[in-house]
Structure 1
Amino acid sequence: MDKKPTTGQCLCGAVKFRISGEFESFFLCHCSRCRKDSGSAHSANLFSSTAKLIWVSGEAKIKTFRLPGSRHMKSFCYDCGSERWSCFFDHLAAHLRWIRVSH
């Protein structure tokens, strides 16, 4: 059975993406950085060693904040500020390593 790709978009619809492949694990992170990012008690993260991220539209509208001296990052739509896809992407392997689930 083929699984449909996971799709998503920002609040204003300018950025749209599709993720193909399986997620292997789910994790709620309660570290202070993730709590600050989410404005919540945690942030939800999905992990995959094989999933691929395909930009449908708006890739140029994505801005990423990287906390100096750490691997912590947060990506969002430049137009609406919607955070939907903070992720670590292995560009050499073209695989998605983790993605933050929308809040």
Structure 2
Amino acid sequence: MSNINGSCLCEAVRFEAQDKFQQFHLCHCDQCKKMSGSAHVSNLFISPEFFKWLAGENLVARYDVPKRSITNAFCKQCGSAVPYLSSTKQWVIVPAGGLNNCPSLKPQDHIFTNEKAEWYKDIDEIAQYPHFPD
């Protein structure tokens, strides 16, 4: 099994995971939309034994949403989403956008679709560009 490295935008926080992700969810809940500033988060779940910090663990800030098992972890320097240990300590939640390579596991589902942003529902029907449009 190969390893996949990842980092925050400024690369002060770096990590490595074995490509043994067990879950991959696209979460549309209201809290995840607010944390990401986007339509959803793309989170991978991996057992802690297959994950390690390479640098910058001391730069990780964490906010646990009251009365919910939702956490926002981010780099104190650049604000990028970074991995965190779940409240149950069963999983390390890894933001897929922070990976430098694609994991073998593909997204399995969209969750909390009852909270999906109205403007996102017909997203595949709009124009797509390989770069910023002219």
- What's the TM-score once normalised by structure 2's chain length? 0.62
Name the structure 2 match of 1:10. 8
Letter in structure 1 aligned against 2:93:
W
1:62-73 to structure 2, matched below 5 A, reads: 62-73=60-71
Name the structure 1 match of 2:74. 76
CA shift for structure 1 position 49: 4.2
Name the structure 2 match of 1:101. 96
CA shift for structure 1 position 48: 3.2
Letter in structure 2 aligned against 1:100:
P
**Residue 77 and residue 97 in structure 1: after superposition, are their counterparts in 2 closer, same or farther (change >3 A)?**
closer
Cα deviations by residue, 1:13-34 (Å, 9 ceiling, x for unpaired)? 1111101251123211111111
**Residue 57 and residue 97 in structure 1: after superposition, are their counterparts in 2 closer, same or farther (change >3 A)?**
closer
Letter in structure 2 aligned against 1:101:
A
CA shift for structure 1 position 41: 1.4
Letter in structure 1 aligned against 2:50:
K
**Residue 49 and residue 13 in structure 1: after superposition, are their counterparts in 2 closer, same or farther (change >3 A)?**
closer
The higher radius of gyration belongs to 2
1:17-56 to structure 2, matched below 5 A, reads: 17-49=15-47, 52-56=50-54
Cα deviations by residue, 1:55-84 (Å, 9 ceiling, x for unpaired)? 111111111011122211111111111113
CA shift for structure 1 position 4: 1.7
**Residue 70 and residue 14 in structure 1: after superposition, are their counterparts in 2 closer, same or farther (change >3 A)?**
same
Higher relative contact order (CA 8 A, sep 6+): 2
Letter in structure 2 aligned against 1:68:
P
Decide which structure has greater helix share.
2
Cα RMSD of the aligned pairs, angstroms, is 2.3
The 8 Å contact of residues 87 and 96 in structure 1, kept in 2 or not, is answered as yes
**Residue 87 and residue 45 in structure 1: after superposition, are their counterparts in 2 closer, same or farther (change >3 A)?**
farther
